Amino acid sequence: MVEVDRRDAATLMPIIQQWVLPGSRVITDQWGAYMAAQEFPANPQYTHVAVNHTLHFVDRNDPTINTNMVEGFWSHSKQKFRWMRGTCDAHFDSYLSEFMFRYMHDESATWFGVILYWITHQYTFMLILTM
């Protein structure tokens, strides 16, 4: 999840190219910015499929083609931000990052252990022993 200033093809395509792995299938609805993104058909890195919400919310031929997961994820995040009684615009990215971290890591996990895991995968440590 990334905050964007505008929701047009010129803004969204660089973000998709930055965050979506080559070979991924990008599932969208048929909103104009997604369909106008000429880079999708010309870019063999991605397979773009779209759901036509005027006909159905899940593609009848392939039930994996739907936008339910991302719409549910956004709905859940908005509910969390309402529970927080709003957010400060200057810190929205950090709120979003925290929400995604908590969403991806089960609350039954020890938070300290999860944080240590990600620290060790992000940074290189040198053990210095002194006697």
Domains of the chain, by residue range, sit at 1-66, 67-131
Alpha helices in 43-125 (DSSP H): 68-83, 92-104, 111-122
Percent of residues, the chain, with pLDDT higher than 70: 81
Q: How confident is the model at residue 56 (pLDDT cuts 50, 70, 90)?
A: confident
Q: Dihedral angle at the C-alpha atoms of 81, 84, 87, 88, nearest 10 degrees?
A: -160
pLDDT of residue 6: 86
Which of 126 and 18 is assigned the larger pLDDT?
18
- The pTM assigned to this predicted structure is 0.58
